[in-house]
Chains A and B, each alone.
Chain A
Amino acid sequence: MSETVSRLPEKGIGLALEILEQVARDDRGASAADIARAVGAPRATVYRVVNSLVRDEYLVRRADFSGFLLGARVLELAALVGSVRPAHAPVVDRLRAETGEAVHLFALHGSGFTVLDEDPASPLCDRAAMTADPTASAVGHLWLITYGDADRSDRRWGEASSDMRQAIAEAYAVRGYTEQVALLAPDRGCLAVPVADDTQRVVGAVTLSTSIARLSLAARHVSALRDAAASLALPVAAGR
C-alpha cells in the first residue's frame, strides 16, 4: 500500500483495505465474524467497516447472507493498489530473487501482526492458524518476545505460557532470529528476522519459508535477510 494509505489508523482505511483483501482471498462465504477473526480487529469495529464497504458497494453481500463478494466498485481502487509501489517492494522483491524462497514481510504492533507483503508465488500456508496461536509461527515467536508480556485488551494473539516464552526468548538470544518447523504445515519451516526501529524496538519481521529438507541450509540467507531488515525499518514503521 502507498505510504499515505498505510499511515492512516488501523480503524480507518487501513482496516477497510485489510477486510477487502480478506474477501479477495476467500469469497466463498466468510461471515463478518470470520473476517473479524482473520484480520484480528475488534468485532464491532469490523462490522461497522464492513457495512460501510457494503454501503459504498465495494463489498456485496451474497444472496443468502452467508458472506461477501468483491463489488465491481473495487475496480476504482486500481490506482491505489496497482500503480503505487510501496517503498519496501523493491527490497523484498530482490530478496525473493536472490534466495529463490518464499519471503514475506510483516509489521508487528501491540495488537498483533499485519501482512505488508505476501509472496505471490508462495502464499502463507495457514493464516488462520497463525492468527489463532502465536507459538505456531516464527513471526509469532518474535511478537511474543517483543509484545507478549504486555497486558493489553486489544491483543490479537492469545497467551503463551511463561515457560514457552522463556524458551523462545533463549533460543532467539542464541540465533538472533526465530524459527518454526512443521507447526503450520507438515513439510514446511520458516525463519523470521526482526526489523527494528532506531530505538531498537522490533516493529516488523522479514520471514523466509522453505521445505523442511532445505531449512537448515536456509541459514545461509540470514545475513541477506538482516541487511534487508536494516533498510526496511522506515517503510515498516509507516505500514504499522
Chain B
Amino acid sequence: MSALAEAIRKRQPRTDLGAASPFAGLRRRHAGTIDVVAQSVAATAPAGVLLIHPSALFARSGHLAFLDVVITATLVIGIALVLGMFARRISSTGSIYTFVARGLGPRTGLVAGAALALGSLAIALSTLTSGASRVTQLVMSTPDPPMWAVAVFTVGFGVVIAAVISRGLRMSTRMLLVIETIAVLAVIALSLAALAFAGWDLQLLVPTATTDVSVEAIMAGVSFALIGFVGFESGVALAPETRRPFATVPRALLLSAGAISVVMLVGTAAQLSLVVEDPQGASLVAITGFGGVVDGIVAVSFLACALAMTNAASRVAFAMSREGLLPSVFGRTSARGVPAAGALVLTSVVTLIPVAVFALGGTRQELRMLTSPAALIGFALAYALVCLAAPVFLSRIGELTWRPVLLAGVPLVALLAVLVFFVRQTALANPLGLAGTVAILGALVAAGMVRLARHPAIFLRVGMHDSPIDTDCIDAGGRP
C-alpha cells in the first residue's frame, strides 16, 4: 500500500499545529468570490471616477488621455498578476503588508503596511468628504453649502459606515456591490445616451500630429489615472473570511482588475468623446442636463468607496494587532466575527479629521492638497514593494521560475518611474502636501520600527497569516 493510501486509511488527526488559527475570532471561510469582487470594485469607485476623472485627465493630457488609461489598465492587470502569486500561497487579512513582510522581511513589510494604510485612509477620508459635500449640495440645493452642514453629513455617513462594517462582512460587501453596480450602469447608460446624441468620434481618443507624446506627458497622465484604479486589490484582505481563499482570491483579483479596466476604458472613451465636444462644460451634465443625478451617482459611489477602504484598512490593522504591532483594540472581534472595534476607531479617524479641519476654517481643497499625494504615494509605494517582494518570496520557498521575475519586474519598473515622476512633480506644485505625506509616512514607519526593536517577539510574529490548524490536515506519519 502506498504512503498516501496508508495515511488516508489511518485518518490520523494532527496534534502539532494547534487547534486555533492566529486569526481566531474572525468569522472564517464563509464569503465567496462575489464578496471579494464587490469589495475590490467598490474600493476603486469606478462610477465616481468616470464622472470626474476623464475631463480632468483631458485637461492634463489632451489627446493622450485615452492612451494613459490604456497604459494604466495594463499596469494594474500586471500588479494583479503579481498579487495573485502571493494570494495563491498566503491567506492573511494583512494583504500587501503581510506579502511584503514574508518576501522582504518585517521592516520592509512595515514600510509597505504604513504606505498601504496611509493610501487607504487618505482615499477614505477624501471620498467621504467629497460624497458628503455633494449630498449636502443636493439636500440644501445650493452649490456652496455652509461648512457646518458638510461636517454634519460627514459625521452622519461616518456613523453609517461604522454600523455597516460592524454588521458583518457579507452585509458590507453585498451592499457595496448593489450600490456600485447601479452607479456604474447609470454612468454607462448616461454616457451612451449622451453619445448617441452627440455622435461617436473615436478620432478624439488617439494622439494627433500636434500632440506632445513624451515620456513626461505619459507619466503625468498615468500617475493621475492610477488614482482611479487604486483599491482594486483590497479584496485580498478578506482572504481568511472566504470559503476557499487560494481559489477565490486569485480569481476575484483578476476578475476585479479586468472588470474595472473594461469599465474604465469604455467609460473613459465615452466621457472623453463628450469632453472633447465641449472642453468647457461638465460634459455629461451639459448634454443631459442631469446635473443632480450625476452628483448623486458620484456621491453614492464615493461613499461606498469610503466604506470599502475603511473595511479593508480595518482588516490590515487586524493583522498588525494580532502580531502585537498595533494596540489590541484592532485585533478584537465582535460576536459577528468582524474587527468592529478597530473599524470604529478607523472610521472615527477618517470622519473627525475633516470635521476638525472644517472647524478650524479649512476647506476641502486644502484637505485634498494632502490626501491626493498621500493616496498616490501610499499605493504606488505599496504596489512597488509587493512587485519587488514576489520573486524574493518565491525564491525563499523554493518555487522561483523565470516567469514571475519577468511578470513582477515590468510593473516594478513602471511603478518606480511613476513614483519618482510624481514626487518630483509634487515637490514643485504642492511642496506642503508632499512634506505632509512624507512626514506622516515617516512617523508611522518610525513608530513601528521602535516597536519592532523593543519587542523581538513581535518581530518574529510579523507576516502572520491564516496558517493551517490540526483539523485542516491529516497526519501522514512522514517517514523520511
**Interface on A for B, CB 8 Å cutoff?**
17, 20-21, 23-28, 31-34, 43-44, 47, 50-51, 54-57, 60-63, 65-66, 69-72, 74-75, 77-78, 81-82, 118, 120, 123
Contact = CB atoms under 8 A, between A and B. Distances in A.
Contact of A81 (B5, B17, B88, B403): B5
Interface in B384-442: 396-399, 401, 403
A91 to B, nearest CB: 16
A65 B89 contact: yes
A240 B377 CA distance: 55
B332 interface: no
B467 interface: yes
A17 B4 contact: yes
A118 B326 CA distance: 53
A11 B297 CA distance: 51
Say whether chain B's binding surface is mostly helix, strand, loop, or mixed.
loop
A2 B397 CA distance: 33
A61 B87 CA distance: 13
B472 A72 contact: yes
A54 B246 contact: yes
B480 A54 contact: no
A50 B138 CA distance: 55
Given A63-B467, A69-B468, A24 B102 contact: no
A31 B480 CA distance: 14
Contact of B468 (A47, A60, A118, A123): A60
A27 B399 contact: no
Contacts of B250: 55
B60 interface: no
Most buried by B among A20, A65, A120: A65
Contacts of B472: 57, 60, 71-72
A35 to B, nearest CB: 9
A63 B463 CA distance: 10
Contact of B17 (A47, A63, A77): A63
A230 B2 CA distance: 24
A23 B3 CA distance: 9
B185 to A, nearest CB: 32
B398 A55 contact: no
Contact of B398 (A28, A34, A63): A34
Nearest to B14: A69
A119 to B, nearest CB: 10
B473 A72 contact: yes
Given A55-B246, A69-B14, A20 B4 contact: yes
Contacts of B397: 31-32, 65-66
B244 interface: yes
A17 B2 CA distance: 11
A57 B88 contact: no
A61 B1 contact: no
Nearest to B404: A47
Interface in B2-19: 2-9, 11, 14, 17
Nearest to B247: A55
Contacts of B6: 24, 120
Contacts of A23: 476
B3 A21 contact: yes
B102 A65 contact: yes
B398 A31 contact: yes
Contacts of B474: 70-72, 74-75
Contacts of B246: 51, 54-55, 57
